[in-house]
Amino acid sequence: MLKRALIALTVSTLAVTGTSACATKKFVNTRVGEVDGKVTTLSGDLEKNQQRINEVDQKAGAAGDAARAADARAAAAGEAAGTARSAADAAGARAEALDKAGRRLVYEVVLSEAKGGFKFGKTELPDDAKAALDKMITDLQADPKGVFFEIEGHTDSIGNPRSNEVLGMKRAEAVKRYLYETHQVPLHKINVISYGEEKPVSDNKTRQGRAENRRVVLRMLS
């Protein structure tokens, strides 16, 4: 009787043990499967991220190439513009030289404060200056080859350059008006320009020098 009971207990124990072992193995297999799935998913995500990174790198490289190409085009355009400016300047210089070569200086008058010309800061044409212009016209009437007037306005260096440029132009225009209204010189034969303080003929540090620099230069060209 005791022997039968022991045999039955042993069989029951083995049965229980076998069932527990089977359940544990199944659980482990399930968890391993879940982990494998997550690993597979993560691997896929990593591959997608790497692909996106590669695409971004390619776009960045393309953008860099485009920027460098644009810089190269801009540099080439700048060089072309510089060449064009140089050519234009050279053409202008040649035209000016030819123009001057085709004209001959017939008469020149300098109307400066030192010779009874314009006073400091003034644009009115003084009587002495009018007399000098009248004499020039009288002399030119005996020489009909004179056909064109160039009038330059100049100042001393006191004041700012822009104001002096305006002042020089007003002085040149005063001479132009006198020639037109008093001596009927056609306007299309008179050209005026102002150099302001740019072309002094004397030292602006002295009173006498400044008086000489405040002037209008009038040239008669054939």
pLDDT in tens, 195-207: 999 999 889 999 8
What per-residue confidence (pLDDT) applies to 165? 93
- What is the reported pLDDT for 166? 92
Domain boundaries, the chain: 1-102, 104-221
Q: Which of 13-17, 72-76, 133-137, 170-174 has the lowest mean pLDDT?
A: 13-17
What gap in Å lies between CA 171 and CA 164, rounded to an integer? 11
- The token duo for 25 is 């193995």
Does the structural domain 104-221 have CATH classification 3.40.30.10? no
pLDDT-derived band at 21, boundaries 50, 70, 90: very low
* pLDDT tens digits along 124-171: 787 888 888 888 888 877 765 567 899 999 988 988 899 989 999 998
- Given a cut of 90, whether residue 173 has pLDDT beyond it is yes
Q: Which residues pair with 216 in a beta bridge?
A: 111, 153
Model pTM greater than 0.85?
Answer: no
Determine the average pLDDT of the residues in 173-181: 92
The H-or-E segment that residue 50 falls in is helix 2-101
Structure token pair of residue 103 = 């004209």
23-69 pLDDT, tens digit per residue, is: 565 655 666 566 566 656 766 666 776 777 777 677 767 777 777 87
Distance CA 137, CA 123 (A): 21
Of the listed ranges 8-17, 130-139, 169-178, the one predicted with least confidence: 8-17
Rounded to whole angstroms, the Cα distance separating 32 from 51 reads 28
Closest CA to 173 of 90, 165, 113, 108: 165
